[in-house]
């Protein structure tokens, strides 16, 4: 039995010495030290030894087991070191190689203009208000002084979900919701998507964005409206921008007006963009109709206000000299990369 143990030790050390990787090392451990290994098989026969031989063989067996385990640990450390060295060589960085260009994302032009507008009005003391895209008929039409027979209710212009629910055609409904819940003074802008049943072409889209504003307080006049609009438009398009107001009609404001700016392309001289007029329509505005205030529980004898609304796409097209609204929604990276 002593000779068998010595043979196992010699054989084990030879196998361990030639082990090329961790897997081979594990196979050797199982072969010699496992439950069914060669050393274990020899030790099972110790019961046949005499009482004098048994301690000596046991001590030798333990010595051989310890020797094999030490060699396994040493070999494992050597293989791990070689593996780490090979990994470091494979992952070496050539600092002379040119770096890879990281293409970072950019804000969409509509987002840029929206943020610009928001920041301008926030700086003027306005707050941002939001409301649902799916709106009740009352908030989208009735409370805004638009009766059932008004042309704006034509199904060719409005997406009706049912007789009482629509996809909002304007963000003016947010103004009504704010006035119902908030006592004056009120100073808000309401940006968001709106939906109209328009055919898609260079200047129309069934989905676009509006930004509407509302101010309600004691003593608010048309002069306050003009001053606010002029300040905003000059901040957006530059101090040299000229602004004019033309009489108009909206059901929810009285008096009403449309605001034009001097053409940002020709400076007012006349060109194809402004159709030779030198002016470009930019937004609608007016003093809040007394009936609209009363619908929201605000006494029109005590309070007055003004409102305005603009299409974000039109503002962005003017600011960036874009001639087709469809470009905003096509996700063409060649177009978006310009901004």
Structure token digits, residue 178: 């704010």
Q: In whole angstroms, give the CA distance from residue 226 to residue 338.
A: 34
Q: Reply yes or no: is the peptide bond before residue 255 cis, omega within 30 of 0.
A: yes
**Predicted confidence band of residue 175 (pLDDT cuts 50, 70, 90):** very high
**Predicted confidence band of residue 8 (pLDDT cuts 50, 70, 90):** confident
Q: Which residue has the higher pLDDT, 33 or 134?
A: 134
Beta strands at 279-288 and 127-128: parallel, antiparallel or unpaired: unpaired
- Give the range among 87-91, 205-209, 250-254 with minimum mean pLDDT: 87-91
pTM: 0.67
- Homologous superfamily of 109-336: Bira Bifunctional Protein; Domain 2 (3.30.930.10)
| Beta carbons of 257 and 308 less than 8 angstroms apart | no
pLDDT digits (tens, 9 = 90+) for 47-88: 666 677 777 777 777 787 788 888 888 888 888 888 888 888
What is residue 228's predicted lDDT score, i.e. its pLDDT? 95
- Is the per-residue pLDDT at 170 higher than 80? yes
Q: In whole angstroms, give the CA distance from residue 34 to residue 42.
A: 12
Question: What is the rounded average pLDDT of the residues 116-145?
Answer: 94
Name the average pLDDT for the chain. Answer: 86
What is residue 264's predicted lDDT score, i.e. its pLDDT? 72
Question: What is the rounded average pLDDT of the residues 244-272?
Answer: 86
- Give the range among 48-57, 173-182, 184-193 with minimum mean pLDDT: 48-57
Q: In whole angstroms, give the CA distance from residue 121 to residue 214.
A: 11
- According to the 3-state scheme, what is the secondary structure of the chain? CHHHHHHHHHHHHHHHHHCCCHHHHHHHHHHHHCCCCHHHHHHHHHHHCCCCHHHHHHHHHHHHHHHHHHHHHHHHHHHHHHHHHHHHHHCCCCCCCCCCCCCCCCCCHHHHHHHHHHHHHHHCCCEECCCCCEEEHHHHCHHHCCCCCCHHHCCCCCCEEECCEEECCCCHHHHHHHHHHCCCCEEEEEEEEEECCCCCCCCCCCEEEEEEEEEEECCCCHHHHHHHHHHHHHHHHCCCCCEEEEEEEECCEEEEEEEEEECCCCCCCCCCCCCCCCEEEEEEEEEECHHHHHHCCCCCCCCEEEEEEEEHHHHHHHHHCCCCHHHHCCCCHHHHCCC
- Is the per-residue pLDDT at 315 higher than 90? no
Phi-psi group of 335: left, alpha or beta (phi > 0 → left; psi -120 to 50 → alpha; rest → beta)? alpha
What is residue 45's predicted lDDT score, i.e. its pLDDT? 66
| Beta carbons of 200 and 108 less than 8 angstroms apart | no
- Is the per-residue pLDDT at 231 higher than 90? yes
């Amino acid at each position: 039995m002593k000779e068998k143990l010595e043979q196992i030790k010699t054989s084990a050390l030879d196998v361990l010495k030639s082990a090329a990787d961790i897997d081979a090392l594990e196979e050797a451990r199982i072969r010699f030290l496992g439950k069914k290994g060669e050393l274990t098989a020899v030790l099972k026969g110790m019961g046949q030894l005499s009482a004098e031989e048994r301690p000596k063989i046991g001590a030798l067996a333990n010595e051989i087991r310890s020797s094999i385990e030490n060699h396994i640990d040493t070999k494992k450390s050597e293989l791990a070191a070689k593996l780490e060295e090979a990994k470091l060589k494979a992952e070496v960085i050539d600092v002379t190689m040119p770096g890879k260009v990281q293409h970072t994302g950019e804000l969409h032009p509509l987002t840029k203009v929206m943020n610009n507008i928001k920041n301008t009005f926030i700086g003027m003391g306005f707050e941002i208000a939001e409301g649902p895209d799916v709106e009740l008929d009352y908030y989208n039409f009735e409370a805004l002084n638009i009766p059932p027979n008004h042309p704006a209710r034509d199904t060719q212009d409005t997406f009706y979900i049912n007789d009482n629910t629509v996809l909002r055609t304007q963000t003016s409904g947010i103004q009504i919701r704010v006035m119902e819940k908030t006592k004056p003074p009120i100073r808000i802008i309401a940006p968001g998507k709106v939906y109209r049943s328009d055919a898609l072409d260079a200047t129309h889209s069934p989905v676009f964005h509006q930004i509407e504003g509302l101010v309600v307080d004691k003593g608010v006049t048309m002069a306050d409206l003009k001053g606010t609009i002029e300040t905003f438009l000059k901040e957006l398009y530059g101090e040299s921008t000229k602004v004019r107001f033309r009489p108009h009609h909206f059901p929810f404001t009285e008096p009403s007006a449309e605001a034009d700016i001097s053409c940002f392309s020709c400076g007012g001289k006349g060109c194809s963009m402004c159709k030779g007029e030198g002016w470009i329509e930019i937004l609608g505005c007016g003093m809040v109709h007394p009936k609209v205030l009363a619908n929201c529980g605000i006494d029109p004898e005590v309070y007055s206000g003004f409102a305005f609304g603009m299409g974000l796409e039109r503002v962005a097209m003017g600011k960036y000299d874009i001639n087709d609204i469809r470009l905003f929604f096509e996700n063409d990276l060649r177009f978006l990369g310009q901004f």
